[in-house]
């Protein structure tokens, strides 16, 4: 619902749904798609100008 509200208001938003995860998912490299979420988040934040490019 949050994602849909952002889109209604023409705000930047992305929605990624992963089939598997769990507590602390993405913090350990286990070769699952969910493990890439911190990088995807950083890319999104950088595209909005929230992070300095490295």
Contacts of 48 (CB under 8 A, 6+ apart): 12
Instruction: Name the burial class of residue 41, with classes exposed (0-12), middle (13-18) and buried (19+) by CB atoms within 10 angstroms of its CB.
Output: middle
Q: Check pLDDT > 60 for residue 54.
A: no
Interval 3-35: pLDDT, tens: 999 999 999 888 877 777 666 666 777 777 788
Query: Higher pLDDT residue, 42 or 32?
Result: 42
- Give the Cβ contact number of residue 26 at 10 Å: 19
Mean pLDDT on 32-43:
84
């Amino acid at each position: 619902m949050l994602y849909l509200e952002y889109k209604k208001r023409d705000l930047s938003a992305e929605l990624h749904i992963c089939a598997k995860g769990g507590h602390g998912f993405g913090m350990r490299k286990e070769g699952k798609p969910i493990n890439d979420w911190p990088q995807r988040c950083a890319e999104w934040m950088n595209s909005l100008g929230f992070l300095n490019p490295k």
